[in-house]
């Protein structure tokens, strides 16, 4: 077989091998392997051109290796022998002592000085658009013939289109991954009415999409939502924006740097995260409004029931009845205010009782000595409303019909809670306060599921015991 036929066969075989896959990394390594075999070279280096950085980046080698723990060798077109071939759009051959050539560029993690000869050619699409460059190296001096130079350039021209196709395929694959990740987030956000579930889905999808070691959402108030995994050497903080306002950040960590494509994906995820946050907050505002309306309706029904009960009482001074009704409404309002301020479903009874005490004493107990000993107790909102009414009735009774100092206690006892109000009187006003005490007994029994005891022994002590 003569040289032209042999070269044609090598060109055909190399092109066929490279065209057998669309995986970019596999294409590049096949190029390095087949080119080295075709020209009987000791090594082959394949560089791809990165137009954004205007650099040639070493992507594949055959016959030697690059330390993976170090930075990839890079050079600008015109820099180094291979860079010169790329810049000149023409082959560059040095038969011997290539490392002594003034254009030679040394990389600390690439042992090129052991090679004597080098033949470098550009990888061009349609003979113009630069896609990269490759070179072949030999340990012994070697002068390549004109036919061999033309063969290497022909191979480079043929594989250029294969590289372009592989790059397009890789981009398409990345896009599929991106769309799948965004679809999972959209599905999680649309299906869940709970903000925490949406945030969890976003963080987990972020970690899967970019192979992150850790991820988290940092909200605008500084609160970190759903931190997962661990920190890495490299972190990307992507702002979450909603209507030109930053409402948080998506943070992703990894031990290796993030590519531009991965950063673009994180920006897309961050956009969905911002939508999810606002969607979740809107839902929560709706739920909160519904809960407030429900609570107000229940409170108004309670007020109506108390007013009906008061209207049925006989022999009651209208002014006193009105004053009692006002205090009952204020007690309900105090619970509602506490729930709104704390944004919780439980009320701190010590704070509530202290607030009611100050209001009632100011209204009808001016000049009386009222002392309180209150332990912290948390109680659900609906039960707190009942307790507020009970306390209001008992304190009014002590101030209006009792005598001397009034002592208020809120303590834990044997797993229960005890609310006690004592004064130094004999309870002569009990009959006049009959409506109030009937309200107390009903609320203790039906709402607190506890017991009520009224004792007179050197004074009057009203005691309510109920389980938390």
What's the pLDDT tens digit per position in 389-416? 888 888 888 887 888 889 999 999 988 9
pLDDT at 208 over 60: yes
Q: Which of 174, 432, 169, 210 is nearest to 314 (CA)?
A: 432
Instruction: Tell me which of 155 and 317 has the higher pLDDT.
Output: 155
Torsion angles phi and psi, residue 194, rounded to 5: -110, 125
Q: Residue 353 has what pLDDT?
A: 85
Which residue bears the tokens 């004053």? 323
Task: List the structure tokens of 314.
Answer: 């006989």
DSSP 258: P
**Distance between the two ends of the chain, CA-based, in angstroms?**
98
Beta 370-374 vs 406-413: how paired, if at all? parallel
Q: Residue 6 has what pLDDT?
A: 65
Beta 346-348 vs 378-380: how paired, if at all? antiparallel
Q: How far apart are CA 466 and CA 217, in angstroms?
A: 43
Q: Residue 431 has what pLDDT?
A: 41
For the chain, list the domains and their CATH numbers. Answer: 3-171 (3.30.450.40), 177-276 (3.30.450.40), 313-467 (3.30.565.10)
Most confident of 108-112, 180-184, 249-253: 249-253
pLDDT at 92 over 90: yes
Torsion angles phi and psi, residue 462, rounded to 5: -100, 125
Whole-model pTM?
A: 0.45
In DSSP terms, 58 is beta-bridged to 47
Task: Kindly report which listed range (101-105, 133-137, 193-197, 222-226) carries the lowest average pLDDT score.
Answer: 193-197
Torsion angles phi and psi, residue 45, rounded to 5: -125, 130
pLDDT at 289 over 70: no
For residue 315, name the pLDDT band (cuts at 50, 70, 90).
Answer: low
Q: Which of 238, 233, 229, 237 is nearest to 257 (CA)?
A: 233
Q: Residue 81 has what pLDDT?
A: 92
Q: Residue 434 has what pLDDT?
A: 62
Q: Residue 341 has what pLDDT?
A: 54
């Amino acid at each position: 077989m003569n040289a032209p036929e042999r070269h044609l066969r090598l060109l055909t075989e190399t092109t066929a091998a490279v065209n057998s896959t669309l995986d970019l990394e596999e294409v590049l390594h096949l190029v390095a392997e087949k080119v080295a075999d075709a020209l009987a070279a000791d090594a082959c280096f394949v560089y791809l051109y990165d137009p954004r950085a205007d650099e040639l980046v070493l992507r594949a080698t055959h016959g030697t290796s690059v330390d993976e723990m170090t930075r990839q060798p890079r050079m600008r077109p015109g820099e180094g022998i291979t860079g010169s071939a790329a810049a000149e759009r023409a082959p560059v051959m040095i038969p011997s002592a290539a490392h002594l050539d003034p254009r030679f560029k040394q990389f600390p993690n690439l042992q090129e000085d052991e090679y004597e000869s080098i033949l470098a050619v550009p990888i061009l699409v349609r003979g113009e658009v630069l896609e990269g460059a490759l070179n072949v190296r030999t340990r012994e001096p070697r002068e390549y013939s004109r036919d061999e130079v033309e063969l290497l350039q022909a191979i480079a021209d043929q594989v250029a289109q294969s590289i372009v196709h592989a790059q397009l395929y890789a981009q398409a694959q990345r896009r599929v991954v991106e769309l799948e990740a965004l679809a999972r987030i959209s599905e999680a956000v649309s299906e869940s009415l709970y903000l925490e579930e949406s945030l969890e889905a976003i963080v987990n999808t972020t970690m899967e999409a970019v192979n992150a070691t850790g991820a988290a959402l940092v909200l605008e108030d500084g609160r970190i939502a759903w931190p997962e995994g661990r920190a890495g050497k490299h972190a990307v903080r992507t702002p979450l924006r909603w209507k030109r306002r930053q409402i948080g950040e998506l943070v992703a960590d990894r031990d290796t740097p993030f590519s531009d494509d991965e950063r673009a994906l994180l920006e897309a995820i961050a956009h969905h995260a911002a939508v999810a946050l606002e969607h979740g907050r809107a839902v929560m505002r709706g739920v909160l409004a519904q809960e407030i309306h429900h609570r107000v309706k229940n409170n108004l029904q309670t007020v109506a029931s108390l007013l009906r009960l008061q209207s049925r009482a006989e022999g009651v001074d209208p002014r006193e009845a009105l004053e009692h009704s006002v205090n009952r409404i204020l007690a309900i309002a105090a619970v509602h205010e506490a729930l709104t301020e704390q944004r919780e479903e439980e009320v701190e009874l010590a704070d509530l009782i202290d607030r009611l005490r100050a209001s009632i004493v100011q209204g009808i107990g001016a000049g009386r000595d009222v002392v309180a000993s209150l332990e912290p107790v948390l109680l659900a909102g609906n039960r707190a409303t009942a307790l507020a009414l009970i306390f209001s009735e008992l304190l009014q009774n002590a101030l209006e019909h009792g005598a001397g100092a009034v002592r208020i206690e809120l303590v834990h006892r044997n797993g229960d809670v005890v609310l006690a109000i004592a004064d130094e009187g004999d309870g002569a006003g009990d009959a006049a306060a009959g409506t109030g005490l009937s309200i107390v007994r009903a609320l203790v029994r039906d709402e607190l599921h506890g017991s009520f005891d009224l004792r007179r022994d050197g004074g009057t002590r009203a005691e309510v015991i109920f389980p938390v």
